[in-house]
Amino acid sequence: MTTIAIIGAGQGLGAAVARRFGREGFPVALIARTREKLARLSDDLRSQGINARGYVADVQDRTSLIRALESAADELGSIEVLQYSPVPRKEFMHPVLETTVDELSSAIEFSVLGPVTAVQQVLPGMVEHGRGTILFVNGSSAATPNGDVAGTSIAFAGESAYGSMLHEALAPRDIHVGQLIIPGAIGGGDPLYAPDSLADRLWTIHTDRGPFRVTVGISDQ
């Protein structure tokens, strides 16, 4: 059995993706910082018949992230799908003239070094199985820099570049890398941004293996 690992799992999009992939038979590894929230989420998913387990890790603590992914693979099965979607922290969202070196360094660690760490951990298993999907989920600043949220804009740009290069490099190995850009508030009332709708989009990215970037709204026109 192969597994989906959701890094940054929460009650919104993470739970919806867990349900969507869980319905298709995937065991689900939920990775986030807060043990209590993970316990509630995994219990809720198991009550719906989904094989889900929580693993505590901070994406800025590479050792804890590697350990969580190792444990998930050992307990649930080799990771076939990796989703990297932690919500950026408030200190990454200052205007460009107010963004400090330390804040930018932290944002890059969060949005660039974190995904690189996760990908390097799961990629050998995907290569061994001859298949896999890596999903990046970002806001609009990943595609269009926004000076009001400079740290996230700069770090997301790096994450996007990394993902795009992976997309090209891994396609010959039947490993798909895709990015979903969400330019609106998740669960804010627009049906396009409802968690279940976005989870369906991520499932389609996994199964259809199209271009690297899909943007909600633009790609729906």
Q: What confidence tens digit (pLDDT) does each residue in 110-160 have? A: 999 999 999 999 999 999 999 999 999 999 999 999 999 999 999 999 999
Residue 221: pLDDT over 50: no
Amino acid 30: pLDDT: 98
Mean pLDDT computed over 36-62:
97
Starting at the edge strand that comes first in sequence, how are the strands of the sheet with 213-215 ordered? Answer: 52-56, 28-32, 3-7, 79-84, 132-139, 175-182, 213-215
Structural domain contains residue 36: yes
Question: Domain span at residue 96?
Answer: 3-215
Structural domain contains residue 220: no
Structural domain contains residue 221: no
Structural domain contains residue 79: yes
Mean pLDDT (the chain) is 95
| CATH number where 177 lies | 3.40.50.720
Structural domain contains residue 84: yes
Q: Minimal CA–CA distance to 21: which of 33, 35, 5, 37? A: 5
Structural domain contains residue 52: yes
By three-state DSSP, how is residue 78 classified? coil
DSSP assignment, residue 30? E
Structural domain contains residue 174: yes
Residue 107: pLDDT over 90: yes
pLDDT band at 90 (very low <50, low <70, confident <90, very high): confident
Structural domain contains residue 118: yes
CB neighbourhood size of 169 (10 A): 11
Amino acid 177: pLDDT: 98
Please list, in sequence order, all residues whose beta carbon lies within 8 angstroms of the beta carbon of residue 160, skipping any fewer than 6 positions away.
136, 138, 142, 143, 179, 213
Q: Is the pTM of this model over 0.85?
A: yes
Phi, psi angle pair for 218, to nearest 5°? -70, -45
pLDDT band at 167 (very low <50, low <70, confident <90, very high): very high
Q: What confidence tens digit (pLDDT) does each residue in 50-64 have? A: 999 999 999 999 999
Q: How many domains does the chain have?
A: 1
Share of the chain above pLDDT 70, in %: 99
- For the chain, the distance separating the N- and C-terminal CA atoms, rounded to the nearest angstrom, is 37
Q: What are 143-148's contacts with CB under 8 Å, separation 24+? A: 143/181, 143/213, 143/215, 147/95, 147/96, 148/93, 148/95, 148/96
